[in-house]
Amino acid sequence: MSNLIPSHEILVKENPIKITQTSIIQEFNAHIDYKENKRILFSAPFGAGKSTFLNDFFNEREDIYIVIKLYPVHYTVANNDDVFELIKFDILCELLHKYRNEIDLQKEEFSTLLTSQVFGQHRIDFIPLVESIIEASGKVGKPAKDILIALKDFFKDFKAFKKEIETDEEKLIEIYLEKFNNKPGVNEMDDITNLISSLLDRTKTDSEIKETVLIIDDLDRLDPEHVFRLFNIFSAHYDSVTEQNKFGFDKIIFVCDINNIRKMFAHRYGAGVDFSGYIDKFYSLSPFHFDNSRYLKETLFKILKSKIINIPADLIKKYNFLDPDSNIYRVAEWILYMLIESKELNLRSLINLKSIEIPRFKFKTTTTNREQSATKFEFIFLIKFLHSLFPDYDSVEIKLKKLTQAYSDSYNPIGTDIYLNSIDSIDRPLISYCLPFLISPIEIFNGQNRSTTNSYLIKCPVSEKILHYNYYEERDFSEYPYLFRITEKIEIESEKVKINAFELFLYTFLKCKRDGIIK
């Protein structure tokens, strides 16, 4: 059995990697602390770590904020009024579950809120109840008897609790639900709306004034129709005169990607319709753009090091991902940095990566009959590595096209002078990794017409530049081409130039797909 680099998988599960985001925390703290900033649009691409950041931020500030979080992915019902009633019910459940002691319910309020209090006391999530209702009726506006049947069946499971409640209180639950069903709409339930406002105020004591925050999370997960339905509901329940949020929340935070919302808006209403005039109702100052790319890049080595790195002992030198100074790591790091900067790679994709594997398949080229091992070629490793981060090769192609647009020959991957001639020392190995699939297969795979003492050249297929290379011998006595100069003309003494290494990387990838090497 091959010797493997030790796995850190168990360590990672027990101690999840946290990305230090000091300046973002300071920026958001200043943003939310501004008194007049009552509505906040918290924007970042899907998978960027928005929810994790907000959870950590507010968990560390429980002495300052009372936080209620809604997950609108569960509000996929057909009517705006129904959604609003579910929102009220969800807020009640959250309040009674998280802040029951602070609220100190009075007897006269207990009967109306009994269902919510039950779930709070017994730590039962609100979501299964709503799902039971929706499953039974298909929509909240269906006949009351279907909803009541679902609820009664649900309560039968809690025999211990059933003995504690009084018959008249159980009857009041039915009255409440029938009222909810027979008179749908926001006006009929103003008593509940007012009660929510009262309960929110009650969470604040004379000695400890906290701000109440409502977070509308996971908007990214909704279909466009449901996104705008939810936005419209909160737009309709905002007092534009007093600038007071519905229910009296001090802050409401909408969590989404504003760029996606803009695209949805253009698709729904037309490209010529003013998006700014629509979206600015949902923030008081300006959208807060959550960008953790800088910190993600700083933590990249720690993240990759935490993965299972499945490399045979005889290939550790060639594919040493635990050495940040190795060529293969620096090239992979450069590609990932650029993907992060281009917003094409997020934290979730990196965290979800289970392992880093060396490709072990065999392939043949169209012009030679010799079987080759993919293990020998760093280019194939890089492509397979990218494939492990994205759903399929079509996605990899899209990402590589983005990289060609992002390429800069003055790029310094860590923003310091730690590497001399940084870009040259990184794009040279990447171009070298591409060469075996650009050079004549007879030369590269059959070993004809080549020598480690000679230099060779090939015209770059994505430009008119000339690639000069020679061969070096590895420990397994295999010979590999290595780029040593790029020139404008065929003469090696001619002017030295650069090429877009990512463009050549993309070209090589597409060629290998056509040749059946990558599949």
Q: Do both 128 and 216 map to the same domain?
A: no
Q: Do both 98 and 36 map to the same domain?
A: no
Of 150, 175, 208, the position where a domain reaches its end is 208
**Share above pLDDT 70 across residues of the chain, in percent, rounded to a whole number:** 70
Q: Do both 248 and 374 map to the same domain?
A: no
Q: Residues 252, 216: contact at Cβ < 8 Å?
A: yes
Q: Do both 317 and 464 map to the same domain?
A: yes
Within a domain: 268: yes
pLDDT of residue 448: 67
Q: Is the pTM of this model over 0.85?
A: no
Within a domain: 483: yes
Residue type at 277 in one-letter notation: G
Look up tokens 């090769």; give the residue: 393
CATH of the domain at 226: 3.40.50
Q: What range defines the domain where residue 135 resides? A: 76-208
Q: Do both 285 and 313 map to the same domain?
A: no
The three-class DSSP label of residue 3 is coil
DSSP assignment of 33-66: HSTT--EEEEE--TTSSHHHHHHHHHHTTTTTEE
Of 265, 291, 317, the position where a domain reaches its end is 291
Q: Do both 172 and 303 map to the same domain?
A: no
**DSSP structural state of residue 492:** T
Q: Do both 146 and 250 map to the same domain?
A: no
Helix 114-121 and helix 126-137, axial crossing angle in degrees, nearest 10 = 130
Q: Do both 324 and 191 map to the same domain?
A: no
Within a domain: 186: yes
Of 208, 233, 257, the position where a domain reaches its end is 208
CA distance 348 to 93: 30
Q: Residues 127, 94: contact at Cβ < 8 Å?
A: no
Q: Is the pLDDT of residue 492 over 50?
A: yes
Tell me the mean pLDDT in the region 13-20: 55
* Per-residue pLDDT reduced to its tens digit, 259-271: 999 999 998 888 8
Q: Is the pLDDT of residue 152 over 70?
A: no
Helix 144-156 and helix 126-137, axial crossing angle in degrees, nearest 10 = 140
**More confident call, 398 vs 224:** 398
Number of other CB atoms surrounding residue 46 within 10 Å = 14
Tell me the mean pLDDT in the region 307-329: 84
Q: Do both 412 and 496 map to the same domain?
A: yes
CA distance 273 to 266: 7
Q: In which region does residue 440 sit, left (phi positive, over 0), alpha (psi from -120 to 50) or beta (all else)?
A: beta
Q: How many domains does the chain fold into?
A: 3
Q: Do both 259 and 165 map to the same domain?
A: no
Within a domain: 121: yes
